Amino acid sequence: MNAGGEGDNPLPGPLGQLLKMLEEEGEALVEHLAELRVRLIVFAAAFAAGMTIGWLYSPHVLALFQRAVGRLIFVAPAEALMTRVKIASAIGLTLALPVGLYQAWRFVAPALFPEEKRLLRFFLWAGSLLYAGGLAFGYWVVYPVSLSFFLAFGTDGLRPAIVVSRHLAFFLGTTVSFGIAFQLPLALLLLVKAGILTAQRLKEVRRPALFACVVAAAALTPADIVSHVLMAVPLVLLYELAVWLAPRFERKSESA
């Protein structure tokens, strides 16, 4: 009995304190992992629901493509199916993205200070608005302008017979890529806030940075000059916006 009682007692001294601390940290880690698992399940459920909506809506997307370019074809047995799956996935991810951002916010917010919460909230809202603005600009400006430009080269003897998967890739390249590219000022301001860049440094590297914007526009858009130019111009303007806003973020960082 004494041996069993002694075995149940914690170890005395520093070793016992270390074991107790490790046990508490292990319990906290398990709780965090359990919470993360729940939030990932919520996001996965939102994505599955959004993908279901996307699958049901995919015939309307294909009809929209047909109104824009005419007849669409597929050249592989599974191409039509996989195109609908890609459309459903893109719609599902777009619809689930707010849920994912909210779950990420709820997971990290308890560990943040009030100033960090305010800053993260700003970046989440600004990033969402810039992404939506990039999508809208790509859909309403870049996609129709680029499409009209290229289809205008057709003749009576040269008519388009566009492969559906390639047109989907062209559509995503002129919409989603703009939503991603429009995050440029937030990325730069985050680096300024972290002290990696300064407002003065952004001004000093303006010329090579603007050249990098042109190169990035060529990499992110389909291989055509129209969408290239239509992305390069907003990227240059967004870089200038980041240069203008950087001193405000730098002053907040210094005062903090």
Q: What is the pLDDT of residues 185-215, one digit of tens each?
A: 999 999 998 888 999 999 999 999 999 999 9
pLDDT category, 1, cuts 50, 70, 90? very low
Q: How high is the pLDDT of residue 83?
A: 97
pLDDT, average across residues 159-173: 92
Return the amino acid letter for 245: L
Q: How high is the pLDDT of residue 251?
A: 56
pLDDT, average across residues 156-183: 91
What 3-state DSSP class applies to 160? coil
Q: How high is the pLDDT of residue 45?
A: 97
Percent with pLDDT over 70 in the chain: 86
Q: How high is the pLDDT of residue 99?
A: 94
The rounded distance, in Å, linking the Cα atoms of 162 and 164 is 6
Q: Which of 81, 82, 108, 98 is nearest to 47 (CA)?
A: 98
Tabulate helix, strand, coil % of the chain (nearest 5): 85, 0, 15
Return the amino acid letter for 140: W
Strand duo 162-163 + 72-73: pairing:
parallel
pLDDT, average across residues 107-119: 87
Q: Which residues contact 211 (CB under 8 A, 6 or more apart)?
A: none
- Evaluate if residue 4 carries a pLDDT over 80: no
The mean of the pLDDT values for the chain is 87
Task: Supply 124's token pair.
Answer: 């989440």
What 3-state DSSP class applies to 205? coil
**pLDDT tens digits along 19-77:** 666 666 666 677 878 888 999 999 999 999 999 999 999 999 999 999 999 889 999 99
- Evaluate if residue 255 carries a pLDDT over 50: no
The rounded distance, in Å, linking the Cα atoms of 130 and 126 is 6
Does an H or E element contain 195, and which?
Answer: none
C-alpha distances in Å from residue 118, one per residue of 82, 205, 235: 42, 30, 26
Return the amino acid letter for 37: R
Structure-token match 């703009």, residue found: 178
- Evaluate if residue 17 carries a pLDDT over 70: no
pLDDT category, 219, cuts 50, 70, 90? confident
Q: How high is the pLDDT of residue 226?
A: 85
User: Which residue did the predictor score with more confidence, 14 or 217?
Assistant: 217
Q: Which residues contact 120 (CB under 8 A, 6 or more apart)?
A: 105, 108, 109, 112
- Evaluate if residue 152 carries a pLDDT over 70: yes
Does an H or E element contain 163, and which?
Answer: strand 162-163
Structure-token match 């041996």, residue found: 3
**pTM tops 0.95:** no
Q: What angle do CA 43, 45, 51 make, to 5 degrees?
A: 100
